[in-house]
Amino acid sequence: MYTSLPALCAAFLASMYFRSYFGVIGPLISDELALSPVEFGWLASAFFGSFALLQIPVGIGFDRWGVRWPMTLMMVVGAAGSAVLASSPGFWFAFGGQVAIGIGCAPIFMGVLYYLGRLHSPDKAGRLAATVSSVGSVGALLSASPLSWFTAEWGWRTACWTASVTMLGCAFSIAATLRQTPSSTNAVQANGAGSWRLPHLLYLVPICFTLALGGTFRNAWAGPYLTDVFGHRTDVGTVLSAVSVFGIATSFALPFALLRWHGRTIVTATYVVGLLSAVVLAFSPGSSIFEASAGLALLYAMGNIHPVAMTEAQTLLPSNMRGVGLGALNTLVFLGVSASSSIFGAVAELRLSVAATYGLIFGATATALAIALGIYVACRPNVVVVQEAAPASD
């Protein structure tokens, strides 16, 4: 475990970098390759499209072959994709590179959850996954100001070549340090199918669907909200930086919180805080910039419990369905982001007053969180664990 955990942290850091880096290099690519707005939009969505579509197939692969080699090979594809992007002469090469990068990042977070969940008890797996997540969150910071400085000095192509080499190194470290987890077939033969039934897992569906609502604000709607409500002189960059720093700080605090409280307690408390924040912003979206910043930060930090919720899901899944189950739930997270952004856009199109528009947007957020929290508390099985983790092999 002492060798594989740093490798998992490095891989997830690379994944978080690639999730956010396009905001910096995207405009530079567009300018140099003379992309149209439509081409730029397709290029921006290519990563997330391939990433989301592969979650369930990746889970099936983990159930069949374990984590080590599927994750390694797909990360090599991602490294090749970054190299293709770095050398692209036009849109289609760049598009293919972005798709390949999405393929490379698709197995990383789920691989962390699957690998740790198969080797450790649920409580320990949750703490370790939260640790990997907190370290990996630094990748989002690297893709902001440091990447802007790097591209200003050496250009976006050099940045992509550097990221390609880094991703390749992470892939080799995964191949070298991860041990083969017990096969799903052997685990089922040893433990049996358990008492698992699909309804046992359904209470987590609303949680997964709403986990990233705060990220929707951070990545898309916070800017329009702050400028529409508080004016165009609002320092949106400073607010978003503060929101990001708060999210990273709370992600580092999460493993320590898991030493004291059960994961279900942290999930419940996090949703209560997020719900209250959304309610306050729904009733007074323009009260003060400090209140707005605090509310956005608390909503954004909710995403940190993603590994905690997924670890809980693993305890409810039989060994032979653990990968595909995690893939399905992880897909819901991305669908939630897409659906919420679309709903917020529809509300904005109603052409109400600014206060009414954002009051409705935050009200819709509060409603979704309340439904998810209510189902989680009311429908959660009394006994969560249906299988013990396999003994650690490294």
How confident is the model at residue 383, as a pLDDT?
54
The single-letter code of the amino acid at 251 is S
Domains and their CATH numbers in the chain: 4-181 (1.20.1250.20), 198-379 (1.20.1250.20)
Give dist(CA 104, CA 78) in Å, integer.
4
What does DSSP assign to residue 320? G
3-state secondary structure of 125: helix
pLDDT at 389: 42
* pLDDT computed for residue 144 by the predictor: 73
Q: What pLDDT was estimated at residue 85?
A: 96
> Do 299 and 365 meet the contact criterion of CB atoms below 8 Å apart?
yes
pLDDT tens-place string over residues 105-154 = 999 989 998 998 888 887 788 888 888 988 888 887 788 778 888 998 99
The full DSSP string for 126-141 is HHHHHHHHHHHTHHHH
Tell me the three state secondary structure of residue 120: coil
Q: Which residue type sits at 213?
A: L
Measure CA 299 to chain center.
14
Cα gap 142→136, rounded to integer Å: 10
Which residues of the chain carry a pLDDT beneath 50?
Answer: 183-196, 385-394
CB 78 within 8 A of CB 100: yes
For residue 346, the SS3 value is helix
pLDDT for 213: 83
User: Which strand (E) or helix (H) includes residue 187?
Assistant: helix 184-191
Element (H, E) at 155: none
Query: Could you report the per-residue pLDDT of 239-275, keeping only the tens digit for each?
Result: 877 888 898 899 889 989 988 998 889 999 999 999 9
Rounded-to-integer distance, Cα 234 and Cα 221, Å: 14
The amino acid at residue 31 is: D
Neighbouring CB atoms inside 10 A of 47's CB total 25
Mention every residue, 6+ apart, whose C-beta is less than 8 A from residue 21. 143, 147, 159, 163
For residue 13, give both structure tokens.
């850091």
62-72 as b/e: b if 16+ CB within 10 A: bbebbbbebbb
